[in-house]
Amino acid sequence: MILLLKSATIIDKTSPFHQQIKDVLIENGKITKISDTIENTNNIKEINLKNLHISQGWFDTSVCFGEPGYEERETIENGLNTAAKSGFTAVAVNSNTFPIADNKATIQYIKNKSYGFATDLYPFGALTKGYESKDIAELFDMKNYGAIAFGDYKKPISNANLMKIALQYTQNFDGLVMSFPQDNSIAQNGLVNEEENSTKLGLKGIPALAEEMQIARDLFILEYTGGKLHIPTISTAKSVNLIKEAKKKGLNVSCSVAAHHLALTDSELKEFNSNTKVLPPLRTERDTEALINGVNEGVIDMITSDHNPIDIEHKKVEYRNAKFGTIGLESLFGALNNILDTEVLIDCLTTKPKQVFNIESSSIQEGELANLTLFNPEEAFTFTEDAILSTSKNAIFLNKKLNGKVYGIISNNKAVL
């Protein structure tokens, strides 16, 4: 494959061409030339798009595809094609399959199904067998077959001793433990954030305390054991402060935030739209502002779509009966591009998550692999169902005004535009 990108603004702090407009020549999967102007003397295929910007390929650290077991929600094939068209050259796929990915055979199956695509797939293994918080899963075997971290998706580890053992054990092979931040003894069967809006709407609430108690517990354990801990999709102001203090102590802790927690609040609940039923729940404006500050200050390491396709039978039902989850690959960039500085947003989709999960990155320089996301940061549009590429349509940003169009990716010697 030979491609010539014309007049591309490069957004890559690791590149000597950062914030410069250049032509970029790509041959056989590598960047071979970057210059002010590259003449097309050999009838090379040109990519000449409106207000073209390029960055290192984006990495989403929390994606669900369903397969195996829930192919009606999403297959690996369509999921990876959706990710590519949404700007992601790599995704980390959660272990909430059927059977649960708590053994090397399931990890191997998922990896084998992902070969040959432009977007790379990195599987997570379950931390406990069957998500039961009783026994540690086959962590070392799963790591040897490609699992990059271990966690029970949306399932808190209720057994504190099990978390202690996991953090100690994974140090033997430099493993990364993930812990979903919710204490179910506090959250119980709550549906939404416990605040004024939950009371007005008559919906049982999940207090911010449920998240903060679990994070505080895990940080105490981490301080005792050492090891590496990742806390996915935090949602409250106090959670940001807890992690900030832990980092000041030198603890090896990272965290992510979901795009919808940066852009939306629990005021969205008034229409009882089940697409707004997510976990952790949408919080208050105060929490949203603290999360945005946490991203800008570097306390929050990465941003995820927390993409979780749910079929219509389990989503388009009465609010209390709907499953938690929203899709988000297609809308992430447009939803946040006005809220965050574009450079900050891209840093949280590239350099930072790749460092935490030990994923190789390629700077935009001559001689480097072409692992690129192509986008226009200034195109406004309304996110309609026509823009949804996923099999399931449970989009929290449906009919919202977004800003920032993704053109596609160039990765693994393939272009998806």
pLDDT (tens digit per residue) in 329-360: 999 999 999 999 999 999 999 999 999 999 99
Sign of CA dihedral 80, 145, 143, 324: positive
pLDDT of 39 over the 90 cut: yes
What pLDDT score does 125 carry? Answer: 98
Q: What are the tens digits of pLDDT across the range 361-392?
A: 999 999 999 999 999 999 999 999 999 999 99
pLDDT of 186 over the 90 cut: yes
Work out the average pLDDT over 205-213. 98
pLDDT band for position 315 (cuts 50, 70, 90)? very high
What pLDDT score does 265 carry? Answer: 97
Fold of 2-53+366-416: Urease, subunit C; domain 1 (2.30.40)
What pLDDT score does 219 carry? Answer: 98
Work out the average pLDDT over 192-217. 96
What pLDDT score does 142 carry? Answer: 98
Give residue limits of the domains in the chain: 2-53+366-416, 58-356
Work out the average pLDDT over 221-229. 98
- Assigned architecture for domain 58-356: Alpha-Beta Barrel (3.20)
What pLDDT score does 137 carry? Answer: 97
pLDDT band for position 254 (cuts 50, 70, 90)? very high
Work out the average pLDDT over 63-85. 97
Work out the average pLDDT over 256-275. 96
What pLDDT score does 370 carry? Answer: 98
pLDDT of 118 over the 90 cut: yes
Percent of the chain with pLDDT over 90: 99
Q: What are the tens digits of pLDDT across the range 125-184?
A: 999 999 999 999 999 999 999 999 999 999 999 999 999 999 999 999 999 999 999 999
Catalytic residue among 12, 218, 301, 306: 306
Q: Is 306 a catalytic residue?
A: yes
Percent of the chain with pLDDT over 70: 100
pLDDT of 14 over the 90 cut: yes
pLDDT of 41 over the 90 cut: no
Work out the average pLDDT over 269-297. 97
